[in-house]
Amino acid sequence: MSAVIATRPVVVPRGANSLERGSIRIAAAVTRWATGRAEQREDQRLRMLATIQAEQTQKADPRAADHMLAQMGMPRR
């Protein structure tokens, strides 16, 4: 989830000169970029953890061992 919520355009103080207004807008853009990257990494991490959990909780197929033995030409159990 995002730590920064953009509800309106960047607020610039009335007495700010053009350099200050520009730097405030750049800071807002960098904040949006960094927040987006952090959210993407968090989503990727959660997907990876869910995949690992699904693999670890998956029940073993009892016929899988028999199938592998048959593929290798060995007698089944």
pLDDT over 60 (residue 1): no
pLDDT over 60 (residue 6): no
Distance between CA atoms of 2 and 17, rounded to whole angstroms?
Answer: 30
Q: According to the model, what pLDDT value does residue 61 have?
A: 81
Q: What is the mean pLDDT of residues 44-54?
A: 96
- Both tokens assigned to 57: 């909780």
pLDDT over 80 (residue 54): yes
CB 77 within 8 A of CB 67: no
pLDDT over 90 (residue 37): yes
- Both tokens assigned to 1: 């989830």
Full-model pTM: 0.57
Residues in the chain: 77
Q: According to the model, what pLDDT value does residue 76 have?
A: 64
- Both tokens assigned to 50: 């869910």
